[in-house]
Amino acid sequence: MPFDKFVDIQTITEARRKAIQQSLRSISVDELNKIAKDHEEEFLGDPWREKFLRLIAERPDGSFYHAVLPEGFVIVYCRDEDFGLWILPGSGMGPLPEHAKRHVKEAIAISHSY
């Protein structure tokens, strides 16, 4: 049956929150530039591309973070600007939704408390 594998949104959200906590790490500007280059196809014609590249250029000493979700989404986040992107390799990208930014901020706070 098609509904045998149905997972409610709360379960998905919780799994993503845990994945962010487990995979979140600081990332350098060099690594961000590599991500931008590796995912040029997802960036083509996307209005968020300029904002992402501008942030990298304007904030060389900024606090940037990277996480990976089980579905393959890559998350990049700039704490200084409270701006984040999701990238689905081979598919596309977009701005990080508010609830996802909250998960990233929570994970940053947890990692800084150790």
Range of the domain at 95: 2-112
Give the angle subtended at the CA of 7 by the CAs of 4 and 13, to the nearest 5°.
170
- Please count the structural domains in the chain: 1
- Of 90, 84, 44, the closest CA to residue 66 belongs to 84
Q: pTM for the complete prediction?
A: 0.84
> CB–CB of 46/73 below 8 Å?
no
Is the pLDDT at 33 greater than 50? The verdict is yes
Tens-place pLDDT, residues 46-83: 788 788 888 889 998 999 999 999 888 999 999 999 99
User: Across the chain, what does the average pLDDT equal?
Assistant: 86
Task: Return the bridge partners of 78, or none.
Answer: 64, 83
